[in-house]
A and B are shown apart, each in its own frame.
Chain A
């Protein structure tokens, strides 16, 4: 059997040899446990950064140390459970860990747990308890407001129950500021600790996990991984996992040595497998943050710092032509709260190169047009209001509100579309078309369908053929494959050609048929017009030539050159040619 891949990119690794580093965080927790002032700490950080692993490690270490009894309690899936049930489960878990019988909490488990059962337990137990609450933010669910409020208040009371022997470690997978007020009130006086990237030393230790497992990492290769992940534990594990997989694809005879090239070759697979890791991050970002981070990913190359001007130029290309306050605030929050970017002297750059590549690949700027609507929350609120007004058929009021939306956020695509729709409903076709043409300049895909439809309606209502033609041609400018517009244009030019023919305006008829794209007709008319124009002359020349030839024949028969014959012949030829010419023209005209 081949050796097994020692890297773990998925499961929590707390309590296993794959857990590396985090000594600062663990020390902070131990300090809290020893502190007389505090008995709780909040760990927060991005998802997949290793928070549950830290809890798992704490559980193992505390168990081994023996001074505290750790109780890991996962709150995921409990947001909608009644508080009584959650408390009963917690009590069961505590008993389970302590090796006691399941408690009987009676009819009022909440009160009994808090006032009788837990205080008694703490009094009798030699060691204190450390409740390790994972996924605490799962409770912060708007759909379970009542349970949430009740539970948070309850926890607040629990935290103050026995500071000496009852300790808490809460873990949330988002920023503290993103919690609701009620949750924040619980953590008001609790120290917090951000869980972020591993330091270089620990990252190298993590990379070296496989060194006892048949894979060698020269310093250069370790540095390469560090360059790519900057100590992001999940991404580091992922890179090493994929490299290990690639090097052990075939049966190996000697211990492979990892090269920078092999690491780079593994990156496409790493990106493919890590897509999910940025989806959560993405879901938590505000619209302006999404736009900013995508622009930064699109504009920056490896390690390159992107200046504000370069970003502005890029944003201009997706239609963002005015400054948006929310966008100006985005870098600070992306740096301080999200730990994603770093402000440099001349601009910004991604903290983790692989995250830049992930955002660049999966969150492309041009696919973010919907986010533009949400750049200004106030504008978006007005937009929702205008939608309601529109549904209530209060069209004028809806238009006023939409005006407000677009003043606050001229990039609000849906507002522009709704505005055009309302104008259409009010019969203000040309005004609607103008609004849409403006939208088309920056957002062609979004404006096109409605604009084409509007122009079509305008064309249908136009009284003059020329106006109709203008609108149909305009439709083709915006959508070149509009079959109906092409048909109408052809019809108009065909009608024009027929009219021109009726007044013998060959040039106009040919031009019209050409515009209609009727090549056969153009050829036919060209032929007829040519005959019309030159037939008289041709017939005259032929008749003249024939008469002259006959005169010549007569002269030959007579074998005597007589100038009079030539004169007679030519004269007669001219007269007959003129007569024939007149007849032929009349005939051609009649045929027409």
Chain B
């Protein structure tokens, strides 16, 4: 028995043990790698928690209506536009109709880099905006001829209208996505005729063959206030889009929990992230990433280190956010943080929609997330609001 044990059982057991250890190590490594990849994909998914918004935007496109995407997070806005116009998503989002949709994504910032902000003419804008449509048209087709007539007539409103009518007759729809649309303000395109044409083409018919999707960090109201000097008594240019104003605000508590649960944070860590980042997916992702890095670096106090790193990463972003607010709104927010002075909601409703202003359990207005509160506390009112 003992010889048997010595010569056979022990080596077998030893072999099994080694195999077990190797397998355990392999699976640990593999799981860890998978987890890291999953974390990475969660942290880089700019559209987390935006399922409802995507659905609403797709619906607006399908019914030929126009929308405005409002968010202070540029990446989120651009990712949303990219997702909606990505051919690989078309079938899932638009079903059978996807074949009849022509997407044109135009970043106004890049348009001006190419054309010169002071010289860009409406014809140049339309040339660029209609390029994807032009590429899709069959030569010698009636639509192509209509497009050519447009081009020859410097994209005159009546010719553009004819093009839209033809598109409608063919059952086609141009989905014109204009990223950073607010950069038009103050440019050579900031003219009544240009905005009026855009409004007419997109809103006069229902369902329209032109679905506008505008993206920026201001509200429609702010846009209308800014264009008031060139449109004193007429209808606000984009008021037909009010129903389609989609503010990328907070995601639900359940979605936040889901996001954090996927990343295997402890309860305390999840609470920490929720507190400093609020329910803004972009902030949550940055905070989670900071905490993950702190943990990977085996910091003694990972939460403290993560908080500091997160603050440093969002400081510029917060400065830009606060500078994007009107001075009065900025001051009201600073007064709420520094003097606990209740703001009047009238002009602050956009901030409420964006989730920077929330009501606490006692029904009192509070600033969210905590990192923004700290940021405001660390700066003077002048530094924050004098812009």
Q: Residues on A close to B: CB < 8 A?
A: 1, 4-5, 8-16, 18, 47-48, 52, 56, 72, 74-81, 89, 92-93, 96, 135, 137-138, 140-143, 173-174, 238, 241, 245, 249, 272-277, 279-280, 361-364, 366-367, 481
Contacts and interface: CB of A to CB of B under 8 A. Distances in A.
Contacts of B344: 364, 366-367
Interface stretch (B227-235, B295-303, B312-320): B227-235
Contact of A52 (B95, B193, B204): B204
Given A8-B65, A10-B66, A56-B205, A364 B234 contact: no
Given A92-B158, A137-B233, A76 B200 contact: yes
A173 B157 CA distance: 23
A11 B193 contact: no
Interface string B230-245: 1111111101111111
Contacts of A173: 234-235
A77 B197 contact: yes
B233 A9 contact: no
Interface stretch (B55-63, B181-189, B276-284): B55-63
Given A18-B206, A138-B235, A280-B239, A4 B196 contact: no
A141 B235 CA distance: 12
Given A76-B200, A77-B197, A276-B220, A12 B95 contact: no
B232 A76 contact: no
B345 interface: yes
Contacts of A11: 64-66, 202-208, 240
Interface string B43-56: 00000000010001
B233 A96 contact: no
Contacts of A362: 345-346, 349
B307 interface: no
A8 B63 contact: yes
30 contacts: A1-B95, A1-B96, A8-B206, A10-B66, A11-B203, A11-B208, A12-B203, A12-B204, A14-B206, A16-B205, A16-B206, A48-B239, A76-B199, A77-B194, A77-B234, A78-B193, A135-B234, A138-B235, A173-B234, A249-B52, A273-B243, A276-B239, A276-B245, A277-B239, A277-B242, A362-B349, A364-B346, A366-B344, A367-B344, A367-B345
Contact of B349 (A10, A275, A481): A275
B339 interface: yes
Nearest to A274: B242
B353 interface: yes
A238 B244 CA distance: 11
B15 interface: no
A12 B206 contact: yes
B233 A138 contact: yes
B243 A238 contact: yes
B33 interface: no
B195 interface: yes
10 tightest Cβ-Cβ pairs between the two chains A and B = A77-B196, A138-B234, A77-B192, A276-B242, A1-B95, A367-B344, A9-B243, A76-B196, A11-B206, A10-B240
Nearest to B96: A1
B366 to A, nearest CB: 19
Contacts of A238: 243
A363 to B, nearest CB: 7
Nearest to A270: B243
Interface of B: 52, 56, 59, 62-66, 95-96, 157-158, 162, 191-197, 199-200, 202-208, 220-221, 224, 229-237, 239-245, 339, 344-346, 349, 353
Nearest to B345: A364
B363 to A, nearest CB: 15
Nearest to B241: A10
A80 B303 CA distance: 60
Contact of A141 (B62, B233, B237, B241): B233
A56 B236 contact: no
B206 A76 contact: no
A72 B196 CA distance: 14
A78 B231 CA distance: 9
Nearest to A179: B233
B150 to A, nearest CB: 13
A545 B62 CA distance: 105
Contacts of B204: 11-12, 52, 56, 72, 74
Contacts of A364: 344-346
Contacts of A174: 233
Contacts of A249: 52
Contacts of B231: 76-77, 138
A277 B66 CA distance: 16
Nearest to A13: B206
Contacts of A1: 95-96
Contacts of B349: 275, 362
B206 A137 contact: no
Given A1-B96, A11-B208, A16-B207, A79 B63 contact: no
A10 B66 CA distance: 8
A286 to B, nearest CB: 16
Contacts of A56: 204-205
B233 A241 contact: no
B339 A481 contact: yes
B63 to A, nearest CB: 5
Contacts of A279: 221, 224
Given A4-B63, A77-B193, A10 B235 contact: no
Contacts of B52: 249
A280 B225 CA distance: 11
Nearest to B347: A367
Given A4-B62, A18-B206, 8 more contacts: A5-B59, A9-B243, A10-B241, A12-B203, A12-B206, A79-B232, A245-B59, A280-B235
B100 to A, nearest CB: 13
Nearest to A279: B221
> Which of B66, B158, B339 lies at the interface centre, i.e. has the most chain A CB atoms within 10 A of its CB?
B158
Contacts of B230: 80
A9 B56 CA distance: 14
A76 B234 contact: yes
Nearest to B195: A77
Nearest to A75: B234
A273 B245 contact: yes
Nearest to B348: A367
Nearest to A140: B233
A92 B157 CA distance: 11
B187 to A, nearest CB: 16
> Which of A1, A10, A72, A140 lies at the interface centre, i.e. has the most chain B CB atoms within 10 A of its CB?
A10
A402 B41 CA distance: 66
Contacts of A142: 232
A135 B199 CA distance: 12
A9 B242 CA distance: 8
A18 B65 CA distance: 13
A173 B229 CA distance: 18
B227 to A, nearest CB: 10
A52 B235 CA distance: 11
Nearest to B341: A445
B195 to A, nearest CB: 6
Contacts of B95: 1
A41 to B, nearest CB: 20
A294 to B, nearest CB: 10
A93 B158 contact: yes
Contact of A241 (B191, B243, B345): B243
Nearest to B64: A11
Given A77-B196, A273-B243, A363-B346, A10 B65 contact: yes
A361 B339 CA distance: 24
Contacts of B244: 10
A14 B224 CA distance: 25
B196 A74 contact: yes
A74 B200 contact: yes
A12 B240 CA distance: 8
Contacts of A4: 59, 62-63
